[in-house]
Amino acid sequence: MAKAPSKTTAFDTAAGDGGETHQQAAKGADDTAFLTTNQGIRVSDNQNSLKSGARGPTLLEDFVLREKIFHFDHERIPERIVHARGSAAHGVFECTKAIPELTRAAPFQAKGKQTEVFTRISTVAGGAGSVDTPRDVRGFAVKFYTDEGNWDLVGNNIPVFFIQDAIKFPDLIHSVKMEADKGYPQAASAHDTFWDFIGLMPESMHMIMWAMSDRAIPRSLRMIEGFGIHTFRLVNAAGESTFCKFHWKPVLGLQSTTWDEAVKIAGADPDYHRRDLFEAIEAGDFPAWDLGLQIFDEDFAKAQPYDVLDSTKLIPEEDLPVQIVGRMTLNRNPDNFFAETEQAAYCPGNVVPGIDFTADPLLQGRLFSYLDTQKSRLGTTNFHQIPINAPRCPMHNFNRDGLMQTQVPKGRANYEPNSLGDAGEDGGPRESPATGFTSFAASDTGSESGERLRVRPELFADHYSQARLFYRSQQPIEQAHIASAIVFELSKCLLPQVPQRILSRLRNIDEDLAKRVAAGLAMDLPDAAEAAREPVDMKPSPALSILEHGQPPMKGRKVAILFDEGSSLEAINGIKTAVEKDGGSVFLVAPKIGELKVKGGTLKADGQLAGSPSVLFDAVACAIMPDNAKKLAMDSAALGWFMDAYSHCKTIGYCPATKEFILDKLGIEPDEGVIPNDKFAGVAPARHWAREPKVRMLA
């Protein structure tokens, strides 16, 4: 027998918190202690949106949800409140496997069919002027200009999210943004208000494992995954439906930086990711992603120990393989950043026939929020007329006027139905029952409709099982990075109850993880937080580990070669040829930027040593003469160039003079990644993680 739906689960109290719940704190307080709407109406439940049954759709009558998100959407102008810093490009999606039996959506009807796209990738927390490389989630939004209208697949580079219900989104973003009294930190989650919120929202613990992992500090926007996050529906021409989760898989593979590397990149080149994407496309090295689908039915959904409508949960690829159906290639940079990248307006509610929604409460709130946001940012309901947002197929309706109206509708008819003329002529457009969008009629699996409730389904109360799954699916060095990231973030928190509460949550995920974080903070472990639902052990999923995907290929990577006067042009060209043969690119670095005399001719550097630190490259090599090596050994920038590459576990190619006068001075001994130049191209750009414990203290 199904259990009764759980009431609010967000504030189940961690032992050691003082035992006082959010609701108890309000008892006996004066009126200022009670949460109200803008109209002064007290709010009985600020954790759950109003639904038609525990697993039913969110109701439009929920004025608390609508007011809260409406106000949040209009907090700032004109910069995006979230995802303000983004980079984008034009491209094409090509269907590689037609699936008309699953969906009537236009992009998937024939193998080889091409659809124009515009893709924007962004950070979440920072403003438009922040840096590219903070520890953060990356937005991944694709606008398909299909034959039947625009379809926006708006997601992230992580397949789950912090919260289960859209009513909590303003609270989440308020907590992670700069603190209200201080105005800092910018583009950082390592502060009290964020971790205070997370500690009181156990549903966030799965996402926290991802956010503290190397997925949140990617090497390049070209090397991240993308996810639709929610469970969607696919509907075929016969009106039959299946459930679907969307995955974007980078052709270049997954790659990250180290935390120290990401921090130093931010100082050396705040536009690192933006520059990397732009220059790759400009050079014809077009980044590409395969689109994959996880397809399942109601029987599969019911058999899982989690709820497929819960956006804090994923479906392991080992349980349900991803079927590749197409490839997106980004092949053209915007002509104007503001007109295209900045004015691009994405909305999850933009779907085409063959794509439909489920009652995921986070998705339901997003369907309201995004459309409203565009009015605030772009100043008009006519934002769809901006070229980057305009559909490529015909568009006709009776929407009229409004600020910045650029179209000139003709004829007398501006309403429907009318008898002023035939359809498509003086009478204007008409409904299209046969080919128009029709919402799928059946309810989601197990959905209960009828009674209006502010509740969540029982399975939503399992906050720890998938967090445990993610952590235990990582390789040991990745687990160490997660633990170290949490230690770093919590070390920035000044409220004493915050780290204690997080530690109590971590004990429900993995005892070793909790101990490592506690040791890193020099704190005693508190009792484990009481779990609203007992976590279960799930089989590890190797697909969740970056390192399980293997060492990176040379294709799409950037290698630096350090040279100076007298260096051998033949040796430099030998490395360059080998790197470029495997699809990499070479950047020449020297102490001086002008033409230098080298053995065999002259050579001009692409960048000066102090302005081209090794953190900007995937691997480094050096070809210099002994006298120049002695000089460089006295230069802190040169020593840091090699030491950073070594401590970031990168491949280093050396000539005899480099080893004798620089590497030996730094105590850098040859290993599987510190190798002579003639072996460099056969190993680079591999990372050598066995080196990390020698150069860095990890939790």
pLDDT tens per residue across span 344-372:
999 999 999 999 999 999 999 999 899 88
Question: Count of CB atoms within 10 A of residue 498's CB?
Answer: 22
As a whole number, mean pLDDT of residues 667-683 equals 96
Return the structure tokens found at 368.
């309201």
The answer to whether residues 651 and 673 touch, using CB atoms and an 8 Å cutoff, is yes
Which stretches of 314-354 are assigned E, i.e. beta strand?
323-332
- φ, ψ at 286 (rounded to 5°): -70, 125
Q: Which residues contact 221 (CB under 8 A, 6 or more apart)?
A: 87, 121, 138, 273, 276, 277, 287
Return the structure tokens found at 342.
């900045």
SS3 395: coil
pTM: 0.90
pLDDT in tens, 219-254: 999 999 999 999 999 999 999 999 999 999 999 999
pLDDT in tens, 578-591: 999 999 999 999 99
The answer to whether residues 246 and 227 touch, using CB atoms and an 8 Å cutoff, is yes
Interatomic CA distance for residues 13 and 319, integer angstroms = 33
The answer to whether residues 359 and 57 touch, using CB atoms and an 8 Å cutoff, is yes
Which range has the worst mean pLDDT, 58-72, 111-125, 615-629?
58-72
Write down the residue that tokens 């990644």 correspond to. Answer: 673
Residues acting as catalytic residues: 83, 156
The answer to whether residues 653 and 663 touch, using CB atoms and an 8 Å cutoff, is no
The answer to whether residues 694 and 671 touch, using CB atoms and an 8 Å cutoff, is no
Burial of 200 (0-12, 13-18, 19+ CB in 10 A): buried
Return the structure tokens found at 94.
């090509």
- The one-letter code for the residue type at 671 is D
Element (H, E) at 639: helix 636-647
Return the structure tokens found at 516.
């490592």
Helix axes 636-647, 259-268, angle to 10 degrees: 140
The answer to whether residues 121 and 139 touch, using CB atoms and an 8 Å cutoff, is yes
Q: Which residues contact 279 (CB under 8 A, 6 or more apart)?
A: none
Interatomic CA distance for residues 655 and 667, integer angstroms = 16
Question: With 50 as the cut, is the pLDDT of residue 105 above it?
Answer: yes
Question: With 60 as the cut, is the pLDDT of residue 25 above it?
Answer: no
Q: Which residues contact 567 (CB under 8 A, 6 or more apart)?
A: 596, 598, 599, 603, 623, 624, 625, 628
pLDDT of residue 414: 86
Q: Which residue has the higher pLDDT, 423 or 155?
A: 155
pLDDT of residue 445: 57
SS3 291: strand
Ordered by where they begin, the domains of the chain are 51-385 (2.40.180.10), 551-695 (3.40.50.880)
SS3 147: coil
Which range has the worst mean pLDDT, 38-52, 65-79, 669-683?
65-79
